[in-house]
Amino acid sequence: MKQLPSDTVRLLSSSQVITSVLNVVKELMENSLDAGASSIDVKLDNYGLDRIEVRDNGHGIKAVDTPVMAVRHFTSKICSHEDLEHLETYGFRGEALGSICAVAEMTQLIHFSVAVTTKTEEDDVSTQYMLDFKGNIVSQKPSHLGQGTTVSVMKLFKNLPVRRQCFSSTKKCKEELKKVQDLLMAYAIVKPELRLMLVHNKVGVWQKAKVADNRSALLATLGSSAVANLLPCHHHQEQPEIVLEGFFPKPGADYSTTSSSSPDKTFLFVNNRPVQLKEIMKLLRQHYSAQYPDDPARNRFPMLMLKITVPPSSVDVNLTPDKTQVLLHNKEAVLTAVEALLVSLYGFRPNTDLPAEKQ
Ligand code: ADP
Ligand code: MG
């Protein structure tokens, strides 16, 4: 038996953290949000396989921190596991930048896999740092960009031909671009004040200006006919502390304007994190489709947003590398609260067994 070389170990573990173009965009956007950005541009070339660039106007990275910014397990967000009890940031593992470096290009021709350009308020000019696959800085030069950070990822999965191959069919690529757009929409809804733009091969795909509230953000993402049929809903309780804020389809609204054939417009958040929670999704679908006695909405998914806010100490977000699954310590209480909100809106408790959600 032999111990694997450290470069191989790095590639193997990084490719578990960074699984797709979507995943890279999510990690980079969350870094931008953690840096207090109010504007984020996401630019993809060849569906992100040739280049992914995320630019923000956040607080930037201090020069003293740049040597370790992409070294795995270096983070400015927590100091120990106890800090997870009051986590307010999206990131905390110090893994994303380092893992991205490991799975992007590093060849004889291009000696870096990731470029980070950053400027803080104190810096006179921005600096562009080229990082190698270990996350170390290989070179740096002054740059012209304003305050904030721009991360460019070259040739994702270049060193993982099978993974790259998985994303090379046009159908798969288009699906991935759609998922990236859905992800931007989720952040657009939960962060109304955020300006967002998605560009693919230099052509604008989707954008959203800064708006005042969740309703205006929904308007920019779902369109006016869906939003005209959404009602704001609130629930606030103590012990356990749970706040629910949402926009749900009006009772009896025409299902063709308030639902979609896929679940991607059912926007669920826990503490501002876009999440997938099967049990809550099932509840929402049951109550929604029970209003249509002939069942025309049986295979449909309601367009809505539900924002669940609980104390940070009662959520564990460290379940899956992409943090889209969370463990709620008071799950039953949350389900009961969501159900009560739905009953108060739709007036009855449904007894429908819906078709399983397609994966
Ligand atoms: P984490 O987000 O878990 O801390 P990352 O590898 O994603 O780990 O980022 C490492 C560190 O680099 C962050 O803790 C932060 O200090 C810095 N950083 C990364 N991206 C940005 C950004 N866009 N703006 C400001 N700082 C950033
Ligand atoms: Mg991060």
pLDDT at 99 over 60: yes
CB 350 within 8 A of CB 293: no
Please give the structure tokens belonging to residue 202. Answer: 């230099």
SS3 sequence of 13-58: HHHHHCCCHHHHHHHHHHHHHHCCCCEEEEEEEHHHCCEEEEEECC
- pLDDT value of residue 208: 96
More confident residue, 126 or 10: 126
Helix H or strand E encompassing 214: helix 214-222
The answer, yes or no, to whether ipTM is higher than 0.90 is yes
Q: Could you report the per-residue pLDDT of 217-250, keeping only the tens digit for each?
A: 999 999 998 899 999 999 999 999 999 999 999 9
- Tell me the average pLDDT across 24-51: 96
- Tell me the average pLDDT across 64-88: 88
Half-sphere exposure in the Cβ direction for 290 (13 Å, CA): 17
More confident residue, 333 or 87: 333
CB 102 within 8 A of CB 14: yes
* Alpha-carbon dihedral sign for residues 181, 187, 190, 193: negative
- pLDDT value of residue 45: 95
pLDDT at 359 over 50: no
Please give the structure tokens belonging to residue 315. Answer: 């959520």
Q: Could you report the per-residue pLDDT of 43-62, keeping only the tens digit for each?
A: 999 999 999 999 999 999 99
Its pTM surpasses 0.90: yes
Cα-to-centroid distance, 317 and ligand 2 (Å): 13
pLDDT band at residue 355, thresholds of 50, 70 and 90? Answer: low
Q: Could you report the per-residue pLDDT of 257-285, keeping only the tens digit for each?
A: 888 888 889 999 999 999 989 999 999 99
DSSP three-state, residue 289: helix
Protein residue with its CA nearest to atom 19 in ligand 1: 31
Domain boundaries, the chain: 6-208, 222-346
Cα-to-centroid distance, 155 and ligand 2 (Å): 20
Whether cis (ω within 30° of 0) applies to the bond prior to 240 is yes
Q: Could you report the per-residue pLDDT of 134-190, keeping only the tens digit for each?
A: 899 999 999 999 999 999 998 888 778 778 787 778 899 999 999 999 999 999 999
Question: Rounded to whole angstroms, how far apart are CA atoms 220 and 29?
Answer: 19
**Binding pocket residue ranges, ligand 1, CB within 6 Å:** 27, 31-32, 35, 56, 58, 60-61, 65, 69, 75-77, 91-98, 149
Q: Could you report the per-residue pLDDT of 291-334, keeping only the tens digit for each?
A: 887 777 677 899 999 999 999 999 988 777 777 888 999 999 99
- Residue of 18, 26, 28, 34 to test ligand 1 pocket, by largest number of atoms within 8 Å of CB: 34
Helix H or strand E encompassing 126: strand 126-131
The third-level CATH classification (topology) of the domain covering 222-346 is Ribosomal Protein S5; domain 2 (3.30.230)
Return the C-alpha torsion angle 188, 33, 73, 113, nearest 10: 80
For residues 88-121, one letter each, b for 16 or more C-beta atoms within 10 angstroms of the residue's C-beta and e for the rest, the string is: eebbbbbbbbbbbbbbbbbeeeeebbbbbbbbbe
- pLDDT value of residue 127: 98
pLDDT at 109 over 60: no
CB 249 within 8 A of CB 289: no
CATH of segment(s) 6-208: 3.30.565.10
